Structure 1
C-alpha cells in the first residue's frame, strides 16, 4: 500500500456565468440565456401552450394545476391575454385560444405560399354583410389574392350554386356566411373534391373545415341574465327566433339557460321568423295581440328587434326588447329610450377577417386542435352605450 498522504483539495470558486457561455453564444448573453429577463412572458407562453393543446376550453383551476403557479398569477396572465385577444373567456369562465393567435399565424404563412383566389358568399345585402365583404376583401388584398364576393339573397339554393362556382373557378379558400347551416354539405363536399378549403363565418355549416362565429351562446346568456335581473320571477317573456343557422340556435339556448339558472321565468311564446325587420314587426304585432301582459321580448338579431319595437310603438305599449348584433339602429333606440333596451354586440368585420385568416392557415397545412373560433361579445345597454362604436 502506498504511504502517500491523502490529497488535500482546495475548492476553487465557480467561474462567472459569462465564462460558462455555450459555444456560439456571446458571453454577454449567457446570463440572459440561463435566466430570462422577462419571466412573465415565459409564463404566458407556457399558458398558451397548455390552452393550445386542449380541444375543449380550459378552466382557471386546470391551468393553475398544470402550470403549478399561484391562482392569482394565472388569472392575471389570462386577463392580460384576453385583453390582447390571444385568449377568449367563455361565459362559464373557461379559456380558449383567441383570434389574434390565428391572425399572426396567417401573416407568417401568407408570406410562404400565395393564394390566388378566395370565394365569399354572404346571406344577403345590408350593412352587416357589407362589413363582412369589405373586411374579407382587405384580407385578400393583404395576401395578394383576388376575391369573388357574392350574396345569396337569403336563398340556400343560390348559396349552394355559388360555392360550386367558386370551386370550379379554382378558389383555394371559400368563406361562407351560411343562409342555412344544414343544407350546404353537398356543395361543401363538391368544393373539397376540387381542393378548396371551406370556412363558415357567423354560424357553422355541415361539411365545412372550420367555423368562426360570435360566442352566440354567451350573447343569449347575457340577454337572459339582463332580463333575470330586471324582472321578478314569473315574468312573461317571448322569444322571436329565426332561420336554421347554428348561431340562432345557440343564442336561444344561452338565453333560456340564463333564465333557468336564475329563477322561474315563463317563456309564453317562441315564434320563428326569418331575421328581417318586416317579419319582426309582423310577429311582434301578433305576440302583443295574443299576450297583452307580455313583459319582455328576446329577438335573435337587431333587425327583428327593430320590427318588434315598431309593433310596440304602434300599440302604445312599453315592452323591453333585447336583440343581438350591436347595430347603429339598435344603439340609437337604446340611447333615446326606445323599445330596444339592449343588444349583444357582434363584429362582422372581425368575423370575416378572422375567417379569412383562419382559412389561410388551413390552406397552408395548419391542423388546429379546435376547428371553431369564437369571438367574444358584450351586452350594450343605456348604462354603457357611451363609447361603443357600432359597425
Structure 2
C-alpha cells in the first residue's frame, strides 16, 4: 500500500508539473501573438546617411509627425554601414519602441534584424528602399523616376549623342532607376551609353567617377546621375573639365541643392526627377498607427509618383 501511495503521489506531482509547464507555454504564445502595440508612443527612424539632404528631410518630417501624435523619436544614422543598422535595431528592441521606420543599407542583409524586431512586437516600415521582412515598403516609383530623367535628357540631346551613367550602390531603389533610364533609352536608338560607373551615392564619388569616365570618353554629350548628389558631382566634374557648354546632366531626387543648381546660370545640370522623403515618413507613420489600431492596410507596397523638375518649371516646385 505504501509503495502504491508513493507512486500515486509521484504521478500526481508529475501531472501537475506538466500542466504548469503547458500553461506557461500557452501564456508565452499568447503574449507573442498579441504583442503588436495598441498605440504608437515611440518611433525609431533609421537612415542610411545623414549627410545626404534626402535623409535630413526625413528626420525633419519625423519630428513633425512624432510631435503630432505625441510620440518620442529616436533618429539613428547608419553611415552606410549594415552592421550599424543591425546594432541600431537591437537597441530599438531593448528600448521597446513601437514603430521602426528604416531606409535600409542592404535590403536582404537587414532581414534577420528586422525579423527580431517584428518578433518583439515592433512594427517595421521600410522607406526609400525595400527591406525584406518589413511590414510595409514605401518608396518612390524608381523605374518611373529613372525613365523621366533619361527621357528628358534624351529629348534635350535631340535624340542622339553619347551619355555616361553615374550608378550607385546595389540597392533596389537605385537599380530601379537605372532600369527606368535604360528603358527610356530604348526609345532613342541614337543615344548611346559609353560609360557607366558606380558612385557611393554622394557628391564626392560622383565627381571622381565622372572625372574618370570623362577622361576615358572624350565624345560625351550627356550624363545621368541616379541621385542628385551624384549628378551634382558629375556636373562639377563637367565644369572642372571646362565642358559645361558641351555636356548636360540630369539626376533624381528633387533636392534643395538640385533646385539651387537649376537656378544657377551656366550650370550643366538641367533636370531632376522628384522624390518625396517627407511623404514617405508621413505614410509610414500612418501605416504604423493603422496597424496598431487593428486596421492594417491590405496594400503593403506604396509607390510615390515622381515628377520632372527642370529650369522651365523649377519656380513652381514646392521642394522638400
Aligned to 1:330: 258
Please point out which of 58, 76, 100 is paired with 1:132.
58
Task: Return the offset for 1:113.
Answer: 4.3
1:364 matched to 2:290? The reply is no
Structure 1 residue 253: deviation in Å? 0.8
Deviation at 1:234, TM superposition (A): 4.6
User: Is the Cα–Cα contact under 8 Å of residues 182 and 244 in structure 1 kept in the other structure?
Assistant: no
1:123 to 44, 48, 58: 48
Which of 130, 134, 145 is the equivalent residue of 1:219?
Answer: 145
Counterpart-to-counterpart distance in 2, 1:313 and 1:366:
53
Instruction: State the Cα RMSD in Å.
Output: 1.7
Deviates more, 1:259-268 or 1:172-181: 259-268
Aligned counterpart, 1:321 = 249
1:260 corresponds to which of 175, 186, 190: 186
State whether residues 39 and 292 of structure 2, in contact with CA within 8 Å, keep that contact through their aligned partners in structure 1: no
- 1:341 corresponds in structure 2 to 270
Distance in 2 (alpha carbons) for counterparts of 1:114 and 1:187: 22
User: What does the per-residue CA deviation read over 1:152-205, in whole Å, with 9 as the maximum and x for residues that have no partner?
Assistant: 112111011101211221112110012222211010111111011110111111
CA gap of 1:388–1:232, structure 2 versus 1, over 3 A, is closer
1:369-388 mapped onto 2 (5 Å cutoff): 369-388=298-317
CA deviation after TM superposition for structure 1 residue 389, in Å: 3.0
> When the two structures are aligned, how many residues end up with a matched partner?
280
CA contact (8 A) 2:143 2:177 kept: yes
Change (3 A) 1:131 1:232: closer
User: Is the Cα–Cα contact under 8 Å of residues 123 and 129 in structure 1 kept in the other structure?
Assistant: yes
Which runs of structure 2 are paired with 1:47-86 in the superposition (5 Å)?
Answer: none
Matched, 1:183 2:109: yes
Q: Check conservation: 2:166, 2:226, Cα contact below 8 A.
A: yes
Check conservation: 1:324, 1:344, Cα contact below 8 A. yes
Alignment of 1:197 with 2:123, yes or no, is yes
Q: 1:287 aligns with which of 213, 217, 241?
A: 213
Aligned pairs for 1:3-152 within 5 A: 113-126=38-51, 127-152=53-78
Does the 8 A contact of 2:126 with 2:138 survive in 1?
A: yes
CA distance in 2, matches of 1:116, 1:331: 36
Which shifted more, 187-196 or 132-141?
A: 132-141
Tell me how far 1:386 sits from its aligned partner.
1.5
Q: Which runs of 5+ in 2 are unaligned?
A: 1-36
Cα-to-partner distance string for 1:96-131 (whole Å, 9 max, x where unaligned): xxxxxxxxxxxxxxxx94222211111122332122
C-alpha distance in 2 between matches for 1:144 and 1:232:
53
For residues 115 and 304 of structure 2, the distance between their equivalents in structure 1, rounded to whole angstroms, comes to: 26
Partners of 1:265 and 1:389 lie apart in 2 by 32
1:222-237 matched pairs, under 5 angstroms: 222-237=148-163
Alignment equivalent of 1:154, drawn from 73, 80, 85: 80
CA gap of 1:332–1:141, structure 2 versus 1, over 3 A, is closer
Pairwise CA distance, 1:276:
0.8
* Structure 2 contact 128–138 (Cα < 8 Å) conserved: yes
Q: Any stretches of 5+ residues in structure 1 without a counterpart?
A: 1-111
Structure 1 residue 261, shift from structure 2 partner: 3.0
Tell me the distance in 1 between the aligned counterparts of 2:224 and 2:307: 16
Cα deviation digits, residues 64-90 of structure 1 (max 9, x gap): xxxxxxxxxxxxxxxxxxxxxxxxxxx
CA contact (8 A) 1:118 1:172 kept: yes
Task: State the distance in 2 between where 1:148 and 1:298 align.
Answer: 35
* Distance in 1 between residues matched to 2:173 and 2:241, nearest whole Å: 31
Shift of 1:358: 1.7
